[in-house]
A and B are shown apart, each in its own frame.
Chain A
Amino acid sequence: MKELLTMWRHTRMIILVALTAAVYAAVLIPFKAIPLIPGITEIRVAQIIPPVASLLFGPAAAWGTAIGNLIGDLFGTFGPGSFFGFIGNFFLGFIPYALWGRLGFLSSGQEPAMRNSRQVVEFVAVVLVSAVACAVIIAWGLEVLGLLPFAVLGNIITLNNFIFPAIVGPILLGLLYGRVKRWGLLWTQIMPAEDISTGRGTVGTGLAIVGSFGAYVLGNWISISGGALPFAAGFGQFGDPAVVGKASLVWALAPFMLALLLALFLCRPRTDLAASAERGMAA
Protein backbone atom coordinates (compact mmCIF):
# COMPACT_ATOMS: atom_id res chain seq x y z
CA MET A 1 0.00 0.00 0.00
CA LYS A 2 2.71 2.48 1.01
CA GLU A 3 4.36 2.42 -2.41
CA LEU A 4 1.02 3.11 -4.11
CA LEU A 5 1.04 6.53 -2.44
CA THR A 6 4.73 7.36 -2.24
CA MET A 7 5.28 6.64 -5.93
CA TRP A 8 3.64 9.99 -6.76
CA ARG A 9 6.78 11.71 -5.36
CA HIS A 10 8.92 10.29 -8.18
CA THR A 11 8.75 11.94 -11.60
CA ARG A 12 9.76 8.74 -13.41
CA MET A 13 7.01 6.77 -11.74
CA ILE A 14 4.47 9.44 -12.73
CA ILE A 15 5.69 9.25 -16.33
CA LEU A 16 5.40 5.45 -16.19
CA VAL A 17 1.79 5.81 -14.99
CA ALA A 18 1.04 7.97 -18.03
CA LEU A 19 2.91 5.68 -20.44
CA THR A 20 1.27 2.51 -19.13
CA ALA A 21 -2.15 4.17 -19.29
CA ALA A 22 -1.55 5.49 -22.82
CA VAL A 23 -0.24 2.18 -24.23
CA TYR A 24 -3.05 0.25 -22.53
CA ALA A 25 -5.71 2.62 -23.88
CA ALA A 26 -4.08 2.70 -27.33
CA VAL A 27 -4.39 -1.08 -27.63
CA LEU A 28 -7.84 -1.18 -25.98
CA ILE A 29 -9.53 1.39 -28.20
CA PRO A 30 -9.27 -0.36 -31.62
CA PHE A 31 -10.85 -3.49 -30.13
CA LYS A 32 -13.89 -1.57 -28.85
CA ALA A 33 -15.30 -2.40 -32.26
CA ILE A 34 -15.45 -6.13 -31.33
CA PRO A 35 -17.72 -6.18 -28.26
CA LEU A 36 -18.26 -9.32 -26.20
CA ILE A 37 -20.84 -7.72 -23.92
CA PRO A 38 -21.85 -4.53 -25.72
CA GLY A 39 -21.16 -1.42 -23.67
CA ILE A 40 -19.36 -3.38 -20.96
CA THR A 41 -16.51 -5.42 -22.38
CA GLU A 42 -14.92 -6.41 -25.67
CA ILE A 43 -12.12 -8.65 -26.96
CA ARG A 44 -9.26 -7.29 -24.92
CA VAL A 45 -5.90 -8.14 -26.42
CA ALA A 46 -4.62 -5.22 -24.35
CA GLN A 47 -4.97 -7.36 -21.21
CA ILE A 48 -1.43 -8.57 -21.94
CA ILE A 49 -0.17 -5.18 -20.78
CA PRO A 50 -1.32 -4.94 -17.09
CA PRO A 51 0.56 -7.98 -15.69
CA VAL A 52 3.67 -7.28 -17.75
CA ALA A 53 3.66 -3.60 -16.75
CA SER A 54 2.91 -4.57 -13.14
CA LEU A 55 6.02 -6.74 -12.85
CA LEU A 56 8.12 -4.01 -14.47
CA PHE A 57 6.69 -0.82 -13.01
CA GLY A 58 4.92 -2.01 -9.83
CA PRO A 59 2.54 0.60 -8.39
CA ALA A 60 2.84 2.80 -11.50
CA ALA A 61 1.24 -0.04 -13.46
CA ALA A 62 -1.64 -0.31 -10.98
CA TRP A 63 -2.53 3.37 -11.42
CA GLY A 64 -1.67 3.29 -15.14
CA THR A 65 -3.94 0.31 -15.79
CA ALA A 66 -6.83 1.94 -13.93
CA ILE A 67 -6.39 5.27 -15.73
CA GLY A 68 -5.81 3.57 -19.09
CA ASN A 69 -9.06 1.62 -18.74
CA LEU A 70 -10.91 4.82 -17.87
CA ILE A 71 -9.46 6.53 -20.95
CA GLY A 72 -10.46 3.51 -23.04
CA ASP A 73 -14.00 3.89 -21.67
CA LEU A 74 -14.00 7.57 -22.63
CA PHE A 75 -13.76 6.49 -26.26
CA GLY A 76 -17.22 4.99 -26.37
CA THR A 77 -18.21 2.91 -23.34
CA PHE A 78 -18.04 5.34 -20.41
CA GLY A 79 -20.94 4.65 -18.12
CA PRO A 80 -21.97 3.58 -14.61
CA GLY A 81 -19.65 0.55 -14.84
CA SER A 82 -16.59 2.72 -15.40
CA PHE A 83 -16.19 3.35 -11.66
CA PHE A 84 -15.94 -0.36 -10.92
CA GLY A 85 -13.84 -0.79 -14.08
CA PHE A 86 -11.35 1.67 -12.58
CA ILE A 87 -11.12 -0.27 -9.31
CA GLY A 88 -11.05 -3.69 -10.99
CA ASN A 89 -8.30 -2.67 -13.37
CA PHE A 90 -6.38 -1.14 -10.49
CA PHE A 91 -6.26 -4.62 -8.92
CA LEU A 92 -5.31 -6.08 -12.30
CA GLY A 93 -2.16 -3.96 -12.18
CA PHE A 94 -1.64 -4.28 -8.42
CA ILE A 95 -1.82 -8.02 -7.75
CA PRO A 96 0.95 -9.36 -10.05
CA TYR A 97 3.76 -7.32 -8.48
CA ALA A 98 2.31 -7.56 -4.97
CA LEU A 99 2.02 -11.37 -5.08
CA TRP A 100 5.22 -12.15 -7.03
CA GLY A 101 7.42 -14.31 -4.82
CA ARG A 102 4.64 -14.78 -2.23
CA LEU A 103 2.82 -17.82 -3.65
CA GLY A 104 4.59 -20.57 -1.69
CA PHE A 105 5.36 -23.66 -3.77
CA LEU A 106 4.24 -21.84 -6.93
CA SER A 107 6.84 -19.14 -6.46
CA SER A 108 10.10 -19.35 -8.36
CA GLY A 109 11.96 -17.26 -5.79
CA GLN A 110 13.51 -15.39 -8.70
CA GLU A 111 12.95 -12.08 -10.46
CA PRO A 112 10.25 -12.19 -13.19
CA ALA A 113 12.67 -12.27 -16.13
CA MET A 114 10.87 -15.28 -17.70
CA ARG A 115 14.09 -17.25 -18.01
CA ASN A 116 12.73 -20.66 -16.95
CA SER A 117 9.50 -22.63 -16.61
CA ARG A 118 9.13 -21.95 -12.86
CA GLN A 119 8.99 -18.22 -13.55
CA VAL A 120 6.40 -18.81 -16.29
CA VAL A 121 4.29 -20.94 -13.91
CA GLU A 122 4.43 -18.21 -11.27
CA PHE A 123 3.53 -15.62 -13.92
CA VAL A 124 0.46 -17.62 -14.95
CA ALA A 125 -0.53 -17.99 -11.28
CA VAL A 126 -0.37 -14.26 -10.49
CA VAL A 127 -2.18 -13.47 -13.75
CA LEU A 128 -4.97 -15.87 -12.75
CA VAL A 129 -5.41 -14.26 -9.32
CA SER A 130 -5.39 -10.75 -10.78
CA ALA A 131 -7.78 -11.75 -13.59
CA VAL A 132 -10.30 -13.19 -11.13
CA ALA A 133 -9.94 -10.26 -8.70
CA CYS A 134 -10.62 -7.74 -11.46
CA ALA A 135 -13.55 -9.76 -12.81
CA VAL A 136 -15.32 -10.23 -9.47
CA ILE A 137 -14.99 -6.55 -8.56
CA ILE A 138 -16.50 -5.38 -11.85
CA ALA A 139 -19.16 -8.11 -11.95
CA TRP A 140 -20.15 -7.42 -8.33
CA GLY A 141 -20.27 -3.68 -9.01
CA LEU A 142 -22.53 -4.03 -12.02
CA GLU A 143 -24.72 -6.43 -10.06
CA VAL A 144 -25.01 -3.75 -7.35
CA LEU A 145 -26.09 -1.28 -10.03
CA GLY A 146 -28.43 -3.88 -11.53
CA LEU A 147 -26.89 -3.63 -14.99
CA LEU A 148 -25.66 -7.15 -15.74
CA PRO A 149 -25.85 -10.54 -14.03
CA PHE A 150 -22.71 -11.65 -12.17
CA ALA A 151 -22.56 -15.01 -13.96
CA VAL A 152 -22.42 -13.37 -17.39
CA LEU A 153 -19.83 -10.72 -16.66
CA GLY A 154 -17.65 -12.48 -14.07
CA ASN A 155 -16.79 -15.39 -16.34
CA ILE A 156 -16.25 -13.40 -19.53
CA ILE A 157 -13.95 -10.87 -17.83
CA THR A 158 -11.99 -13.65 -16.11
CA LEU A 159 -11.37 -15.44 -19.41
CA ASN A 160 -10.63 -12.16 -21.17
CA ASN A 161 -8.15 -11.13 -18.47
CA PHE A 162 -6.48 -14.52 -18.31
CA ILE A 163 -6.16 -16.13 -21.74
CA PHE A 164 -4.18 -13.52 -23.70
CA PRO A 165 -1.76 -12.60 -20.87
CA ALA A 166 -1.17 -16.25 -19.87
CA ILE A 167 -0.21 -17.20 -23.43
CA VAL A 168 1.63 -14.13 -24.70
CA GLY A 169 2.53 -12.32 -21.47
CA PRO A 170 5.63 -14.40 -20.60
CA ILE A 171 7.07 -13.80 -24.08
CA LEU A 172 6.48 -10.04 -23.91
CA LEU A 173 7.84 -9.82 -20.36
CA GLY A 174 10.87 -11.94 -21.30
CA LEU A 175 11.64 -9.58 -24.19
CA LEU A 176 11.24 -6.43 -22.11
CA TYR A 177 12.52 -7.29 -18.61
CA GLY A 178 16.26 -7.25 -19.37
CA ARG A 179 16.01 -4.06 -21.41
CA VAL A 180 13.98 -2.21 -18.78
CA LYS A 181 16.41 -3.32 -16.10
CA ARG A 182 19.38 -2.07 -18.16
CA TRP A 183 17.63 1.29 -18.58
CA GLY A 184 17.21 1.46 -14.78
CA LEU A 185 13.43 1.70 -15.04
CA LEU A 186 12.27 -1.24 -12.90
CA TRP A 187 10.13 0.21 -10.12
CA THR A 188 12.48 -1.24 -7.52
CA GLN A 189 15.33 0.66 -9.18
CA ILE A 190 13.43 3.96 -9.18
CA MET A 191 11.87 3.89 -5.71
CA PRO A 192 14.04 3.88 -2.59
CA ALA A 193 13.47 1.08 -0.07
CA GLU A 194 12.01 3.46 2.54
CA ASP A 195 9.13 4.30 0.16
CA ILE A 196 8.07 0.63 -0.14
CA SER A 197 6.01 -1.33 2.40
CA THR A 198 7.95 -4.08 4.15
CA GLY A 199 7.04 -7.38 5.77
CA ARG A 200 6.10 -10.92 4.83
CA GLY A 201 2.64 -10.09 3.52
CA THR A 202 1.25 -13.55 4.24
CA VAL A 203 -2.12 -12.21 5.38
CA GLY A 204 -2.39 -9.84 2.43
CA THR A 205 -1.58 -12.60 -0.05
CA GLY A 206 -4.13 -14.91 1.59
CA LEU A 207 -6.81 -12.22 1.52
CA ALA A 208 -6.17 -11.50 -2.16
CA ILE A 209 -6.50 -15.18 -3.07
CA VAL A 210 -9.50 -15.93 -0.84
CA GLY A 211 -11.23 -12.67 -1.82
CA SER A 212 -10.83 -13.37 -5.53
CA PHE A 213 -11.66 -17.06 -5.76
CA GLY A 214 -14.23 -17.02 -2.95
CA ALA A 215 -16.20 -14.25 -4.66
CA TYR A 216 -15.87 -15.97 -8.03
CA VAL A 217 -17.21 -19.34 -6.87
CA LEU A 218 -19.94 -18.01 -4.58
CA GLY A 219 -20.96 -15.29 -7.04
CA ASN A 220 -21.41 -17.78 -9.86
CA TRP A 221 -23.31 -20.17 -7.63
CA ILE A 222 -25.77 -17.54 -6.39
CA SER A 223 -26.14 -15.90 -9.79
CA ILE A 224 -26.87 -19.17 -11.56
CA SER A 225 -29.05 -20.64 -8.81
CA GLY A 226 -31.11 -17.44 -8.66
CA GLY A 227 -30.11 -16.27 -5.22
CA ALA A 228 -31.30 -19.34 -3.35
CA LEU A 229 -29.08 -18.82 -0.33
CA PRO A 230 -30.40 -20.15 2.99
CA PHE A 231 -30.15 -16.78 4.71
CA ALA A 232 -31.94 -15.07 1.81
CA ALA A 233 -35.05 -17.19 2.25
CA GLY A 234 -36.38 -15.21 5.19
CA PHE A 235 -35.62 -11.96 3.47
CA GLY A 236 -37.46 -13.22 0.43
CA GLN A 237 -40.48 -14.16 2.52
CA PHE A 238 -40.78 -10.84 4.30
CA GLY A 239 -38.86 -8.42 2.10
CA ASP A 240 -39.39 -6.98 -1.32
CA PRO A 241 -39.20 -9.84 -3.84
CA ALA A 242 -37.81 -7.42 -6.42
CA VAL A 243 -34.50 -7.27 -4.60
CA VAL A 244 -34.11 -10.77 -3.16
CA GLY A 245 -31.77 -12.29 -5.75
CA LYS A 246 -29.72 -9.17 -6.01
CA ALA A 247 -29.55 -8.63 -2.24
CA SER A 248 -28.32 -12.15 -1.54
CA LEU A 249 -25.52 -11.87 -4.10
CA VAL A 250 -24.50 -8.34 -3.15
CA TRP A 251 -24.37 -9.09 0.58
CA ALA A 252 -22.89 -12.58 0.26
CA LEU A 253 -19.99 -11.23 -1.76
CA ALA A 254 -19.43 -8.16 0.42
CA PRO A 255 -16.97 -9.95 2.79
CA PHE A 256 -14.87 -11.04 -0.17
CA MET A 257 -14.82 -7.49 -1.51
CA LEU A 258 -13.70 -6.38 1.95
CA ALA A 259 -10.95 -9.03 1.84
CA LEU A 260 -9.71 -7.64 -1.47
CA LEU A 261 -9.79 -4.13 -0.04
CA LEU A 262 -7.76 -5.25 2.98
CA ALA A 263 -5.31 -7.06 0.69
CA LEU A 264 -4.51 -3.65 -0.77
CA PHE A 265 -3.25 -2.59 2.67
CA LEU A 266 -1.67 -5.86 3.77
CA CYS A 267 0.14 -7.17 0.67
CA ARG A 268 3.89 -6.70 0.83
CA PRO A 269 5.76 -6.81 -2.50
CA ARG A 270 9.15 -8.52 -2.63
CA THR A 271 11.88 -6.15 -3.65
CA ASP A 272 14.85 -8.40 -2.92
CA LEU A 273 14.59 -10.65 -5.98
CA ALA A 274 16.13 -8.31 -8.58
CA ALA A 275 18.91 -7.43 -6.16
CA SER A 276 19.64 -11.09 -5.37
CA ALA A 277 19.79 -11.85 -9.10
CA GLU A 278 22.38 -9.10 -9.54
CA ARG A 279 24.39 -10.51 -6.65
CA GLY A 280 24.18 -13.98 -8.22
CA MET A 281 25.43 -12.68 -11.59
CA ALA A 282 28.26 -10.80 -9.91
CA ALA A 283 29.31 -13.95 -8.02
Chain B
Amino acid sequence: MDIYLYVEADTPLHRLDPRAKMLMLLALLLMAVAVDHPVLPGGLFLLVLVLAHVGRAWRSLRRVRTLLFIIGVFSTVTWSLFARGETPLFGPVQVEALLYGIGTGFKLVSTIAGSVVFLATTKNEEIATGLIRIGVPYPVAFAFSTALRLVPTFVGAGVTIIQAQKSRGLDVESGGFFQRLRKHLPLMVPVFAAAIRSTNQLAMALEAKGFGARPVRTYYLHLEFRPADWITAATGAALVVTALYLRLFSDALRIPGLIR
Protein backbone atom coordinates (compact mmCIF):
# COMPACT_ATOMS: atom_id res chain seq x y z
CA MET B 1 0.00 0.00 0.00
CA ASP B 2 1.58 3.28 -1.14
CA ILE B 3 0.44 6.07 1.14
CA TYR B 4 3.06 8.57 -0.03
CA LEU B 5 2.20 11.40 -2.40
CA TYR B 6 5.59 11.45 -4.16
CA VAL B 7 5.49 10.93 -7.93
CA GLU B 8 8.67 9.64 -9.56
CA ALA B 9 9.48 11.93 -12.50
CA ASP B 10 12.17 14.20 -13.86
CA THR B 11 10.60 17.64 -14.06
CA PRO B 12 11.92 21.14 -13.29
CA LEU B 13 10.11 21.00 -9.94
CA HIS B 14 11.64 17.62 -9.05
CA ARG B 15 15.12 18.98 -9.84
CA LEU B 16 14.76 22.02 -7.57
CA ASP B 17 16.60 22.07 -4.24
CA PRO B 18 14.16 21.16 -1.40
CA ARG B 19 15.16 24.34 0.47
CA ALA B 20 14.07 26.48 -2.46
CA LYS B 21 10.77 24.59 -2.61
CA MET B 22 10.28 24.99 1.15
CA LEU B 23 10.75 28.75 0.80
CA MET B 24 8.24 28.83 -2.06
CA LEU B 25 5.78 26.84 0.04
CA LEU B 26 6.23 29.28 2.93
CA ALA B 27 5.69 32.17 0.50
CA LEU B 28 2.52 30.50 -0.75
CA LEU B 29 1.20 30.07 2.81
CA LEU B 30 1.96 33.70 3.71
CA MET B 31 0.56 35.08 0.45
CA ALA B 32 -2.63 33.06 0.94
CA VAL B 33 -3.31 34.43 4.42
CA ALA B 34 -2.11 37.99 3.64
CA VAL B 35 -5.39 39.35 2.31
CA ASP B 36 -9.10 38.71 2.73
CA HIS B 37 -10.27 39.35 -0.84
CA PRO B 38 -10.67 36.15 -2.89
CA VAL B 39 -8.78 37.51 -5.91
CA LEU B 40 -5.29 36.73 -4.58
CA PRO B 41 -6.01 33.28 -3.03
CA GLY B 42 -7.95 32.40 -6.21
CA GLY B 43 -4.96 33.43 -8.32
CA LEU B 44 -2.66 31.38 -6.10
CA PHE B 45 -4.88 28.34 -6.60
CA LEU B 46 -4.54 28.71 -10.38
CA LEU B 47 -0.77 29.06 -9.97
CA VAL B 48 -0.69 25.83 -7.93
CA LEU B 49 -2.62 24.04 -10.68
CA VAL B 50 -0.03 25.23 -13.23
CA LEU B 51 2.77 23.99 -10.95
CA ALA B 52 0.97 20.65 -10.56
CA HIS B 53 0.98 20.36 -14.36
CA VAL B 54 4.67 21.24 -14.58
CA GLY B 55 5.57 18.79 -11.76
CA ARG B 56 3.23 16.04 -13.06
CA ALA B 57 1.54 16.01 -9.68
CA TRP B 58 -2.01 15.46 -10.97
CA ARG B 59 -2.08 11.89 -9.67
CA SER B 60 -1.40 13.10 -6.12
CA LEU B 61 -3.85 15.99 -6.41
CA ARG B 62 -6.56 13.62 -7.66
CA ARG B 63 -6.18 11.63 -4.42
CA VAL B 64 -7.23 14.66 -2.37
CA ARG B 65 -9.66 16.28 -4.84
CA THR B 66 -12.80 15.31 -2.88
CA LEU B 67 -11.28 16.67 0.31
CA LEU B 68 -10.30 19.92 -1.44
CA PHE B 69 -13.83 20.35 -2.78
CA ILE B 70 -15.42 19.76 0.63
CA ILE B 71 -12.93 22.17 2.25
CA GLY B 72 -13.74 24.91 -0.27
CA VAL B 73 -17.51 24.56 0.17
CA PHE B 74 -17.35 24.18 3.98
CA SER B 75 -15.15 27.26 4.49
CA THR B 76 -17.29 29.38 2.20
CA VAL B 77 -20.51 28.40 4.01
CA THR B 78 -19.03 28.71 7.53
CA TRP B 79 -17.61 32.19 7.04
CA SER B 80 -20.62 33.40 5.09
CA LEU B 81 -22.58 32.77 8.29
CA PHE B 82 -19.96 33.80 10.90
CA ALA B 83 -18.63 36.98 9.27
CA ARG B 84 -20.76 40.09 8.87
CA GLY B 85 -21.03 42.85 6.29
CA GLU B 86 -23.06 45.87 5.30
CA THR B 87 -24.68 44.76 2.04
CA PRO B 88 -27.50 42.21 2.47
CA LEU B 89 -27.50 39.35 -0.04
CA PHE B 90 -30.00 36.74 1.15
CA GLY B 91 -31.19 35.60 4.58
CA PRO B 92 -28.44 36.15 7.17
CA VAL B 93 -25.70 36.33 4.50
CA GLN B 94 -24.10 39.61 3.39
CA VAL B 95 -22.05 40.18 0.22
CA GLU B 96 -18.89 40.98 2.19
CA ALA B 97 -19.23 37.82 4.28
CA LEU B 98 -19.72 35.67 1.18
CA LEU B 99 -16.64 37.22 -0.46
CA TYR B 100 -14.66 36.57 2.70
CA GLY B 101 -15.94 32.97 2.80
CA ILE B 102 -14.92 32.34 -0.80
CA GLY B 103 -11.51 33.90 -0.12
CA THR B 104 -10.97 31.71 2.95
CA GLY B 105 -11.99 28.63 0.97
CA PHE B 106 -9.41 29.48 -1.69
CA LYS B 107 -6.79 30.16 1.01
CA LEU B 108 -7.15 26.66 2.46
CA VAL B 109 -7.51 24.91 -0.88
CA SER B 110 -4.52 26.65 -2.48
CA THR B 111 -2.20 25.99 0.49
CA ILE B 112 -3.20 22.34 0.82
CA ALA B 113 -2.90 21.81 -2.94
CA GLY B 114 0.48 23.59 -2.83
CA SER B 115 1.73 21.25 -0.10
CA VAL B 116 0.54 18.25 -2.12
CA VAL B 117 2.54 19.49 -5.12
CA PHE B 118 5.56 19.95 -2.82
CA LEU B 119 5.26 16.39 -1.51
CA ALA B 120 4.63 15.02 -5.02
CA THR B 121 7.92 16.49 -6.22
CA THR B 122 10.16 16.07 -3.14
CA LYS B 123 11.45 12.81 -1.68
CA ASN B 124 11.37 12.19 2.08
CA GLU B 125 15.19 12.06 2.15
CA GLU B 126 15.34 15.46 0.45
CA ILE B 127 12.94 16.94 3.00
CA ALA B 128 15.03 15.60 5.90
CA THR B 129 18.32 16.78 4.42
CA GLY B 130 16.75 20.11 3.51
CA LEU B 131 15.59 20.56 7.12
CA ILE B 132 19.10 19.86 8.42
CA ARG B 133 20.64 22.29 5.92
CA ILE B 134 18.31 25.09 7.02
CA GLY B 135 19.40 24.62 10.62
CA VAL B 136 17.08 22.03 12.17
CA PRO B 137 19.24 20.01 14.64
CA TYR B 138 20.22 16.60 13.29
CA PRO B 139 18.46 14.50 15.99
CA VAL B 140 15.18 16.34 15.33
CA ALA B 141 15.47 15.87 11.55
CA PHE B 142 16.46 12.24 12.14
CA ALA B 143 13.38 11.62 14.30
CA PHE B 144 11.21 13.30 11.65
CA SER B 145 12.60 11.29 8.74
CA THR B 146 12.55 8.02 10.73
CA ALA B 147 8.92 8.60 11.68
CA LEU B 148 8.09 9.38 8.05
CA ARG B 149 9.66 6.08 6.99
CA LEU B 150 7.98 4.09 9.77
CA VAL B 151 4.43 5.28 9.07
CA PRO B 152 3.80 2.76 6.24
CA THR B 153 5.38 0.02 8.40
CA PHE B 154 2.91 0.64 11.22
CA VAL B 155 -0.04 1.04 8.85
CA GLY B 156 1.01 -2.31 7.31
CA ALA B 157 1.38 -3.89 10.78
CA GLY B 158 -2.12 -2.68 11.68
CA VAL B 159 -3.55 -4.21 8.50
CA THR B 160 -1.73 -7.51 9.17
CA ILE B 161 -3.06 -7.66 12.75
CA ILE B 162 -6.61 -6.94 11.57
CA GLN B 163 -6.35 -9.68 8.93
CA ALA B 164 -4.95 -12.13 11.49
CA GLN B 165 -7.82 -11.39 13.88
CA LYS B 166 -10.38 -11.65 11.06
CA SER B 167 -9.01 -15.06 10.11
CA ARG B 168 -9.69 -16.10 13.72
CA GLY B 169 -13.30 -14.99 13.42
CA LEU B 170 -13.24 -11.35 14.58
CA ASP B 171 -15.92 -9.40 12.72
CA VAL B 172 -14.64 -5.83 12.34
CA GLU B 173 -16.79 -4.78 9.40
CA SER B 174 -20.36 -5.11 10.65
CA GLY B 175 -22.24 -2.59 12.78
CA GLY B 176 -22.32 1.19 12.80
CA PHE B 177 -19.32 3.51 12.76
CA PHE B 178 -18.81 3.55 16.53
CA GLN B 179 -19.31 -0.21 16.83
CA ARG B 180 -16.64 -0.81 14.19
CA LEU B 181 -14.40 1.73 15.91
CA ARG B 182 -14.77 -0.13 19.23
CA LYS B 183 -13.73 -3.36 17.55
CA HIS B 184 -10.66 -1.75 15.99
CA LEU B 185 -9.37 -0.13 19.20
CA PRO B 186 -8.02 -3.28 20.94
CA LEU B 187 -6.04 -3.97 17.77
CA MET B 188 -3.96 -0.85 18.49
CA VAL B 189 -2.38 -2.51 21.54
CA PRO B 190 -0.22 -5.01 19.62
CA VAL B 191 0.82 -2.31 17.12
CA PHE B 192 1.88 0.00 19.93
CA ALA B 193 3.54 -2.76 21.97
CA ALA B 194 5.49 -4.06 18.95
CA ALA B 195 6.67 -0.52 18.17
CA ILE B 196 7.85 0.09 21.74
CA ARG B 197 9.61 -3.26 21.90
CA SER B 198 11.74 -2.38 18.90
CA THR B 199 13.13 0.71 20.66
CA ASN B 200 16.11 -0.99 22.29
CA GLN B 201 17.08 -2.84 19.10
CA LEU B 202 16.85 0.34 17.03
CA ALA B 203 18.87 2.29 19.58
CA MET B 204 21.59 -0.39 19.69
CA ALA B 205 21.72 -0.55 15.88
CA LEU B 206 22.09 3.21 15.69
CA GLU B 207 24.74 3.45 18.37
CA ALA B 208 26.67 0.57 16.81
CA LYS B 209 26.86 2.68 13.65
CA GLY B 210 28.15 5.70 15.55
CA PHE B 211 24.93 7.69 15.96
CA GLY B 212 25.79 10.90 17.78
CA ALA B 213 29.46 9.94 18.06
CA ARG B 214 30.70 13.03 16.24
CA PRO B 215 29.23 16.52 16.24
CA VAL B 216 29.77 17.05 12.49
CA ARG B 217 28.21 14.55 10.11
CA THR B 218 28.58 13.78 6.44
CA TYR B 219 25.59 12.97 4.21
CA TYR B 220 25.00 10.66 1.29
CA LEU B 221 22.63 13.12 -0.32
CA HIS B 222 24.40 16.33 -1.35
CA LEU B 223 22.31 19.44 -1.86
CA GLU B 224 23.65 22.23 -4.02
CA PHE B 225 21.98 25.50 -4.96
CA ARG B 226 21.98 26.01 -8.73
CA PRO B 227 20.84 29.10 -10.68
CA ALA B 228 17.24 27.80 -10.90
CA ASP B 229 17.22 27.34 -7.11
CA TRP B 230 18.51 30.87 -6.53
CA ILE B 231 15.84 32.28 -8.84
CA THR B 232 13.12 30.25 -7.06
CA ALA B 233 14.41 31.26 -3.61
CA ALA B 234 14.63 34.93 -4.63
CA THR B 235 11.06 34.77 -6.00
CA GLY B 236 9.92 33.13 -2.78
CA ALA B 237 11.64 35.79 -0.66
CA ALA B 238 10.10 38.57 -2.76
CA LEU B 239 6.66 36.99 -2.34
CA VAL B 240 7.17 36.77 1.45
CA VAL B 241 8.01 40.49 1.57
CA THR B 242 5.00 41.27 -0.64
CA ALA B 243 2.74 39.20 1.62
CA LEU B 244 3.97 41.02 4.72
CA TYR B 245 3.51 44.39 2.99
CA LEU B 246 -0.03 43.52 1.92
CA ARG B 247 -0.90 42.29 5.39
CA LEU B 248 0.62 45.11 7.40
CA PHE B 249 0.62 48.26 5.27
CA SER B 250 -1.81 47.94 2.37
CA ASP B 251 -5.58 48.22 2.08
CA ALA B 252 -5.52 47.18 -1.58
CA LEU B 253 -7.13 43.77 -1.19
CA ARG B 254 -9.32 44.35 1.88
CA ILE B 255 -13.07 43.83 1.68
CA PRO B 256 -14.67 47.18 2.56
CA GLY B 257 -17.48 46.81 5.11
CA LEU B 258 -16.44 43.37 6.35
CA ILE B 259 -16.83 42.83 10.10
CA ARG B 260 -15.43 39.67 11.70
Footprint of B on A, CB under 8 Å? 8-9, 11-12, 14-19, 21-23, 25-27, 29-30, 32, 35, 37-40, 45, 48-49, 56, 63-64, 67-68, 70-71, 73-80, 145-149, 152, 168, 172, 175-176, 179-180, 183-185, 226-227, 241-246
* Complex contact A63–B143 (CB within 8 A): yes
CA distance A49 to B196 in the complex (A): 13
B161 close to A (CB within 8 Å): no
CA distance A172 to B187 in the complex (A): 11
A147 to chain B, nearest CB (A): 6
B238 close to A (CB within 8 Å): no
Residue of B whose beta carbon sits closest to that of A60: B143
Main secondary structure on A side of the interface with B: helix
Tell which of B79, B82, B137, B192 has the most Cβ of chain A within 10 Å: B192
Q: Which 10 A-B pairs have the closest CB atoms?
A: A22-B150, A21-B147, A78-B115, A39-B71, A26-B154, A18-B146, A38-B71, A79-B111, A17-B143, A22-B147
Residue of A whose beta carbon sits closest to that of B195: A19
B50 close to A (CB within 8 Å): no
The interface residues of chain B lying within 8 Å CB-to-CB of A8 are 137, 139-140
B193 close to A (CB within 8 Å): yes
* Complex contact B154–A23 (CB within 8 A): yes
* Complex contact A15–B206 (CB within 8 A): yes
Residue of B whose beta carbon sits closest to that of A11: B203
* Complex contact B150–A18 (CB within 8 A): yes
Stretch at the interface among B12-20, B164-172, B225-233, B252-260: B252-260
Other than the given A15-B206, A63-B140, A242-B254, 7 more pairs (CB < 8 A) read A12-B203, A15-B202, A39-B109, A39-B112, A45-B181, A172-B192, A176-B192
Residue of B whose beta carbon sits closest to that of A79: B111
Please count the residue pairs between chain A and chain B whose beta carbons lie under 8 angstroms apart in the complex.
192
A92 to chain B, nearest CB (A): 16
B189 close to A (CB within 8 Å): yes
Tell which of B137, B153, B197 has the most Cβ of chain A within 10 Å: B197
A141 to chain B, nearest CB (A): 11
Main secondary structure on B side of the interface with A: helix
The interface residues of chain A lying within 8 Å CB-to-CB of B119 are 74, 78
Footprint of A on B, CB under 8 Å? 3, 5, 29, 32-33, 36, 63-64, 67, 70-71, 73-75, 78-79, 82, 84, 104, 107-109, 111-112, 115-116, 119, 137, 139-140, 142-144, 146-151, 153-155, 158, 181, 184-185, 188-189, 191-193, 195-200, 202-203, 206-207, 211-212, 254-260
The interface residues of chain B lying within 8 Å CB-to-CB of A71 are 144, 147-148, 151
* Complex contact B137–A74 (CB within 8 A): no
A23 touching B191 in the complex, CB below 8 Å, given contacts A14-B139, A39-B67, A45-B185: yes
Residue of A whose beta carbon sits closest to that of B137: A8
A70 to chain B, nearest CB (A): 8
5 contacts between A and B (CB under 8 A): A9-B212, A11-B203, A18-B143, A18-B147, A67-B144
The interface residues of chain A lying within 8 Å CB-to-CB of B203 are 11-12, 15
* Complex contact B36–A242 (CB within 8 A): yes
Tell which of B143, B148, B254 has the most Cβ of chain A within 10 Å: B143
* Complex contact A242–B260 (CB within 8 A): yes
